[in-house]
Amino acid sequence: MTVQRPFRFGVNMVVPESRSRWIEKCRRAEELGFDVVGVADHLGLPAPFPAMIVAAEATERVRLNTFVLNTAFYNPVLLARDAAGADQLTDGRVELGLGAGYVRAEFDAAGIPFESGGKRVRHLERTVTTLRRLFADPDYQPRPAQPSGPPLLLAGWGDRLLKLAAEQADIIAFAGGGATPGGPVQLADLDATAERVAYVGGLLGSRAGQVELNLLIQRVISRADWPALADAYAPALPPSAADHPERIPTLLIGSPDEGADRVRELRERFGFSYITVLEDSMEQFGPIIERLR
């Protein structure tokens, strides 16, 4: 019998302009029972590491993560210094979330070539290898507070990135869907999610019991409020779920009790024990956390 991991819950924040508002939101997340406060990495938003340091100073127990860094923007050696320094200054509360980058407009704005998916994943692989090597060196400075450095979360959906995650990650974050050729991001239904989880499971081998699986929830919403959002989400729904949004694992629609049941089902069926929601669902997810504790 497989032993289920205990739940962990994260919220992925968009850092606001004001320091006081950021502190207020981080404290509220901790009050609601979240275990992790995540910081997005996009141009036009404050840099993740300073935001994480302020969040650590404002809170008592939550862990802080980058959810997720656009790794193509970072030199691996310099990233190791920033991550280790943040871990040191937060007494070991950092989780380092990494992705291959996907917003072409941000690459263009930064003057960085938007390489093929394969090349971006290879840069991510070089980054992970560099981080592991440096953090394993007992003479490396700045010394992270966590002996092996911050745990690495790798996020994605495609074969190449998930293969890398299965080989190297401490936490594998499933994006819950991917871009369609020339079209919008499409959220995966239950069958597609099962296929991705099975793909990773087949690659993990003996690491299966060591690696935590994360799912990013796109929205937590009541049944009464769903009709007002249905049209907005319609382009993101696959044909199999156009009239059945309950077939989308990344949408939690219903009461807090229904939401708690759904999260239990996600852990039972797919192994998702680490659930992250977006900031605009933070308050709605709080009562679900309460029921799952």
Which range among 20-34, 168-182, 205-219 shows the weakest confidence by mean pLDDT?
168-182
- Number of domains making up the chain: 1
In a domain, 1, yes or no: no
In a domain, 2, yes or no: no
In a domain, 126, yes or no: yes
Query: What is the mean pLDDT of the segment spanning 1-16?
Result: 86
CA distance 248 to 186: 10
Per-residue pLDDT tens digits for 23-82: 999 999 999 999 999 999 999 998 999 999 999 999 999 999 999 999 999 999 999 999
**CATH assignment of the domain containing 186:** 3.20.20.30
Pairing of strands 185-187, 177-179: antiparallel
Question: What pLDDT was estimated at residue 288?
Answer: 98
In a domain, 3, yes or no: no
The model's pTM is: 0.96
Per-residue pLDDT tens digits for 13-25: 987 779 999 999 9
3-state helix, strand, coil in the chain (%, to 5): 50, 20, 30
In a domain, 165, yes or no: yes
Question: What pLDDT was estimated at residue 184?
Answer: 59
In a domain, 159, yes or no: yes
Q: Is 171 helix (H, G, I), strand (E, B) or coil?
A: strand
Element (H, E) at 63: strand 63-66
Which range among 123-132, 222-231, 272-281 shows the weakest confidence by mean pLDDT?
222-231
Q: What domain range is 234 assigned to?
A: 8-292
**Model confidence band, residue 113 (pLDDT cutoffs 50, 70, 90):** very high
In a domain, 125, yes or no: yes
**Nearest-CA neighbor of 79 among 93, 68, 91?**
68
